[in-house]
Amino acid sequence: MAAERRRVLVTGIGVVTPLGAGLPALWGAVRRGCSAIRPVTRFDAGGYRSRLAAEVRDFEVADFVDGRKARRLDRFSAFAVAAATLALGDAGIPPGAPCLRAAGVAVGSALGGVAFAEEQHVRFTRAGLRAVEPHLALTMFGGAGATNIAIALDLRGPTLGNANSCASGLVAIGEAFRLIQRGELDIALAGGAEAPLAPLTYGAFSVIHAMSARNRQPELACRPFDADRDGFVMAEGAAVFVLEAAERVRARRTRPYLEIGGYGLTNDAWHMAAPRPDGAEAARVMAMALGEAGIRPEEVGYINAHATGTPLGDAAEAVAIRTALPETWARTPVSSTKPLHGHALGATGAIELAITAEVLRTGWLPPTRNLEQPGDDCLLDHVPAGGTTTSPAAAICNAFGFGGINACLVVRRPEIG
């Protein structure tokens, strides 16, 4: 007889985003409909087809890590450690708490420290190996974000890093959910971090026309589901969550943000850059997560869509939603918040889960900014301009990435007896 699976709750959320650091700053900007999309300032993008990004401004890693240790972190790992530190504080767990010794860490990132490696390669070509930072080898691997969190906070449980493209953050949270659900951990920190704004890294996406070229109208550039969409806008940032077994939360008498009910992971097995047009595997991943959560399609009160503003991706996700919720899609509110915070690749799913947590807490659904005329291939129940107030008991969060990777989490308002 299979062991009973444990319930898993989110008790702390830490974010570093272009809209601000800390959940109150992020949610406040979402409520106001603020967009952080501007012309790129991190490097000269003058000759590029796409020249926009959502950058994290006024970030100082020394606010979270002492000076000597901070110098050993590249921007990607610094975001991860900062978000994890904020999440622990939000959960009311002090640094050095005994429970943290056995805690796990899972952090996803599409590109890890590649931007820092690119910067060091420029130094190498100009001045040779002696000009390169000695800690380069320790920063550029994909698991550096997770391991730096473990070192900074003395977390000695399983440490997982994944590079599952733009699904990475949601995959990390899902895998941590699994470890706690199965009884292998009682607590974990999980999320995504990304710092991709470097000339070659950014340029690689511009060359394949994946990003919007609406450079003269930055705040209007990202247009998920719109008939006039022409690509995504790259961003950076991080979001980390404290996941705990329900019995721990009950014993601590703390108030959780949400319960993770189900997780799904599939692959289109179709194309490295294009989604399966029929959305079959994206639909199946939603059905898997709903089934595990025991949530019927009619109980879903909100879908935070992956929708980035690409012509093929948004259309495929719309088909997938209609397939996964065949009887209820026309009355299930859907929106994408990427026109506000941009697309931070592997961190995006985690950032959007933080927003979804506030949706469940407050009952206010954010609209998709810049959605003026939905494409004929994107027919859904789009949240109206200005947002709407309702009382969703459960929500779907999607994250899809290059290589056909599809991830989905189904979350619900928490109940602690």
CA angle 383–389–390, rounded 5-degree value: 95
How far is it, in rounded angstroms, from Cα 151 to Cα 138?
A: 13
Catalytic residue check, 378: no
Between strands 37-39 and 381-382, the pairing is unpaired
Nearest to 331 by CA among 380, 371, 377: 380
> Residue 238 to residues 29, 168, 207: CA-CA distances in angstroms?
16, 12, 25
Between strands 258-267 and 405-412, the pairing is antiparallel
At 242, list the tokens: 């404290």
φ and ψ of 55, to 5 deg: -100, 145
- Residue 111, CB half-sphere, CA atoms under 13 Å: how many? 27
How far is it, in rounded angstroms, from Cα 306 to Cα 399?
A: 5
Catalytic entry in 222, 306, 341, 408: 306
Domains of the chain: 8-252 (3.40.47.10), 262-412 (3.40.47.10)
At 148, list the tokens: 């730096």
> Which residues on neighbouring strands pair with residue 86, listed in sequence order?
none
φ and ψ of 136, to 5 deg: -55, -45
Residue 204 CB partners (closer than 8 Å, separation 6+): none
Report the pLDDT value the prediction gives residue 68, as an integer from 0 to 100: 78
- Residue 280, CB half-sphere, CA atoms under 13 Å: how many? 5
Catalytic residue check, 382: no
Using an 8 Å Cβ cutoff, are 289 and 348 in contact?
A: no
Report the pLDDT value the prediction gives residue 3, as an integer from 0 to 100: 60
Catalytic residue check, 343: yes
At which residue do the structure tokens 């590079």 appear? 163
Report the pLDDT value the prediction gives residue 1, as an integer from 0 to 100: 33
How far is it, in rounded angstroms, from Cα 152 to Cα 85?
A: 9
Catalytic entry in 222, 341, 343, 382: 343
How far is it, in rounded angstroms, from Cα 4 to Cα 12?
A: 25
Nearest to 218 by CA among 17, 385, 54: 54
At which residue do the structure tokens 């503003």 appear? 309
User: At 312, which helix (H) or strand (E)?
Assistant: helix 311-324
Q: In three state form, how does the secondary structure of 154-172 look?
A: CCCCCEEEECCHHHHHHHH
At 297, list the tokens: 């399609």
Q: Cα–chain-centroid distance for residue 335?
A: 15
Amino acid letter for position 205 = F
Alpha-carbon torsion (344, 325, 395, 376), positive or negative: positive
Read off the DSSP letter of residue 100: G
At which residue do the structure tokens 């941590």 appear? 176
Catalytic entry in 34, 121, 135, 166: 166
How do the pLDDT tens digits run along the chain, 417 residues long? 346 899 999 999 999 999 999 999 999 999 999 999 999 999 999 999 999 999 999 999 999 888 778 888 999 999 999 999 999 999 999 999 999 999 999 999 999 999 999 999 999 999 999 999 999 999 988 899 999 999 999 999 999 999 999 999 999 999 999 999 999 999 999 999 999 999 999 999 999 999 999 999 999 999 999 999 999 999 999 999 999 999 999 999 999 999 999 999 999 999 999 999 999 999 999 999 999 999 999 999 999 999 999 999 999 999 999 999 999 999 999 999 999 999 999 999 999 999 999 999 999 999 999 999 999 999 999 999 999 999 999 999 999 999 999 999 999 999 865
Phi-psi region of 194 (alpha: psi -120 to 50; beta: other; left: phi over 0): beta
Using an 8 Å Cβ cutoff, are 301 and 333 in contact?
A: yes
